[in-house]
Amino acid sequence: MKKYLLAIFLYCTSMNGHSKSIIFDNDMAIDDWAALLYLLHHPKANVIAVTISASGESRCKPGLDNTNALIDLSGKVSKTIPVACGDDYPLDGYFVFPEAWRKDSDTLSGVPIKSSARAASDQHAAAIIHAALADAKEPVTLIATGPLTNIAHWLERYPQDKNKIDRLVIMGGTVDAPGNIIVPLFTKGHPNTTAEWNIFIDPLAADKVFAAGLPIVLVGLDITNSVRVTTQVAADFKQAVTTDSAKFWDAVLDKNDWFIASNEYYFWDTLAVMIAMEPELCLGDEQSLRVDYQTTTKPWLQTTDNSMPDTRWDGKKRNHLEAKTAGTLVKDKNYPVIKVCRKTEPARIFKEFRDTLNQ
């Protein structure tokens, strides 16, 4: 009984604390489902908009539908949270995620979920970010866990909004850790050993964001490699399941037991949102970084979709980008300083995620 009363006291105390207004820009991949549910259950997270980076893993329509369904699942049925998509293609280049990954993202790994009656916005994601910032009464934490296409569009259309951002937390890139483009079952033989997928898909957008002078916290592979989702992590979570959101996530883990067994699954995007809510979970240093996006006439076709429009968002011809170097982060003193996360507390991460989803 004492433990129960203490838990209630701690929960109520956290509820009385200062909340953070959050805009969550993501591509509705597997770890984004966990990240979104974490934010929706967190007592101090006030999610004011969710935007889908449709140049990433999930396509626009299923991304919108799945987002609204997860909002309902979390119990936020009385709150209107605008949900919108951005462009289906990167600013430049023809890079795409493997089709099997996109199908899995579109279908929530085959885990059934009740459809939502919520209507998604027909406005561009950049416009939704702008509107949410205009309505906010305090600086907003912007979290980006997919390709940075939407964020680049927002910066280009509404540069006056920059001073309304408290922090931009990005899951993407790698400074010293190896890249993760080569995945044996899907991209064997790929020439890129130095980039991370989110930045690789739209390196021009990432470079524009890194150059913008925003207060950026980079949650890249240098830190996410420490939060691998193991069979023990999944088993521990299963023992704590009580809420509908937790039941859904437990089913996702069951469906992806092969992924977990491959030792290739990490808490990429989930770690980013947790650091956004609890900055002390990121220990790191400061770097000035640009993003490589060289053009080429000899594209690597394995991660290329030639059905994309030949014209870019700005009316110029779309270029093929050099797959070997695209998305690589390069130290450059001419770029603004950002914080690069290096270390965190893995045991605390998984426990706090488990506890939060079951509130």
The pLDDT of 53-76, averaged and rounded, is: 97
Residue with tokens 């979970």: 281
Band of the pLDDT at 16, cuts 50, 70, 90? Answer: very low
Q: How many CB atoms lie within 10 A of CB 158?
A: 17
14 pLDDT band (50/70/90 cuts)? Answer: very low
Residue 9: pLDDT over 90: no
Residue 49 has pLDDT above 60, yes or no: yes
Tokens linked to 271: 């770690």
Q: What is the mean pLDDT of residues 149-178?
A: 98
Q: What is the pLDDT of residue 78?
A: 66
Query: Span 270-290, mean pLDDT?
Result: 98
- Average pLDDT of the segment spanning 284-297: 98
Residue whose entry in the numeric block shows the structure tokens 């949650």: 219
Vertex 172 angle, CA 89 and 326, to 5°: 60
**CA gap 326, 304 in Å, rounded:** 13
Mean local confidence (pLDDT), 229-236: 98
What does the mean pLDDT of the chain come to?
94
Pairwise CA distance, residues 148 & 145, whole Å:
8
- Tell me: pLDDT of 8 over 80: no
> Looking only at Cα atoms, what is the longest distance across the chain?
69
pLDDT at 18: 79
CB contact at 8 A, 225 and 266: yes
pLDDT tens digit string along 318-338? Answer: 999 999 999 999 999 999 999
- Put the strands of the sheet holding 20-26 in their side by side order: 83-85, 45-52, 20-26, 140-144, 165-171, 216-219, 337-343, 283-291, 329-331
The string of pLDDT tens digits covering residues 192-223 is 999 999 999 999 999 999 999 999 999 999 99
Lowest mean pLDDT among 12-21, 73-82, 86-95, 156-165: 12-21
Give me the helices (H) in the chain, please.
2-15, 30-41, 60-73, 99-106, 125-135, 149-157, 184-187, 197-201, 203-210, 221-224, 231-238, 244-255, 257-261, 268-277, 346-357
pLDDT digits (tens, 9 = 90+) for 261-271: 999 999 999 99
Q: For position 5, what pLDDT does the model report?
A: 37
Q: Return the structure tokens found at 195.
A: 């980039």
Q: What is the pLDDT of residue 15?
A: 39
Residue 10 has pLDDT above 80, yes or no: no
Mean pLDDT of 355-359: 94
CA–CA separation, 32 and 125 (whole Å):
17
Share of the chain above pLDDT 90, in %: 92
Strand 283-291 and strand 329-331: the pairing is: antiparallel
